[in-house]
Amino acid sequence: MGDIKTIRSDDLYNAGHEIFLQALEELNDSVPSALIVAHNPGIHNFAARLASEDSPSSLMARLTEGFRPGALAVLECPVNSWLDLADEKNRLIDLQDPLDYNAPAGPTRWT
């Protein structure tokens, strides 16, 4: 496994589609994958806009229901450059909800 680089950006806090897209477009094309950790509704909307209609219908149905805190959408992006990332062109290959991996339904620090 290669080195994992973490980039923290205050710009992603409560960001929308264009800010998330810009952050990915700024990645070096040698970076094979990226994980964005961010807040709703922005991150959910971003994932929903990126996902293509040829994604499995069961995953797309779950994606349209929204994201709980801690949800994870995995998209396969058929691009050679991050600059080529486009809406509705990326296959949703997995969607994990906190309840899928036995996490509590709500943040435990608030209970």
Query: At residue 110, does pLDDT exceed 70?
Result: no
Query: At residue 78, does pLDDT exceed 80?
Result: yes
Give the residue-averaged pLDDT of 41-47. Answer: 95
Containing 111, the helix (H) or strand (E) segment is none
For the chain, percent of residues with pLDDT exceeding 90: 68
pLDDT of the residue at 37: 92
DSSP-derived secondary structure for 46-105: HHHHHB-TTS-HHHHHHHHH---TT-EEEEE---SSGGG--TT-BEEEEEE-GGGGT--S
Give the residue-averaged pLDDT of 91-110. Answer: 75
Query: What class, spelled out in words, does domain 10-110 have in CATH?
Result: alpha beta
pLDDT of the residue at 107: 60
pTM of the model: 0.85
Q: What is the pLDDT of residues 85-98, one digit of tens each?
A: 999 999 999 999 88
Query: At residue 102, does pLDDT exceed 60?
Result: yes
pLDDT of the residue at 89: 97
Query: At residue 59, does pLDDT exceed 90?
Result: yes
